[in-house]
Amino acid sequence: MTTYIKEHVMLAAIGAVGASALLMALGNDYPWTGAVGAVLAIAVRGVYVASEQVGMTWTLTDRRVISPAEVPIPLSEIEKVRTIISAAQIVTRSGDKYMLKYQADPSETARTIEEAAR
């Protein structure tokens, strides 16, 4: 949950700066409303999606990674594992991509999966 909150705070900050900058560039007399709107939008999204995202559990066995939707990903089919912000992304030999979102240590997650796939 901590990683989920940190990522949403980062998104809100980026959105606030971007929205305020856009309003300033357009000559709006109230550019602060961009920051307020961005923070509120990300907060609402975060609360709405939290129960769905935070409860997702991935399982690593000696032969496969199993997604929260029970989709098995054979370790022999994993081509590479990348990290993207707080996520680890599994890329299979056929090009399928799976995101393990909101990892406390995405580099460690990627390393663990890569070692298991060897």
pLDDT tens figures, 5-21: 998 999 999 999 999 99
84, β-bridge pairs: 87
68's enclosing H/E stretch is none
Strands 97-100 and 59-60: unpaired
For residue 19, how many other CB atoms are within 10 A of its CB?
A: 20
- Report, in this order, helix, strand and coil percent for the chain, each rounded to 5: 55, 20, 25
> What is the model's pTM?
0.73
How high is the pLDDT of residue 1?
A: 62
Please give the angle made by the CA atoms of 103, 59 and 84, to the nearest 5 degrees.
Answer: 30
pLDDT category at 3 given cuts 50, 70, 90 is: confident
How high is the pLDDT of residue 2?
A: 84
Phi, psi of 100 (to 5 degrees): -100, 95
- Specify the domain boundaries for CATH 2.40.50 within the chain: 59-117
Fold of 59-117: OB fold (Dihydrolipoamide Acetyltransferase, E2P) (2.40.50)
pLDDT digits (tens, 9 = 90+) for 33-83: 999 999 999 999 999 988 888 788 999 999 999 999 999 999 999 999 999
Flag whether pLDDT at 102 surpasses 80: yes
How high is the pLDDT of residue 81?
A: 96
CA 12, distance to chain mean position in Å, is 14
Percent of the chain predicted with pLDDT > 70: 99
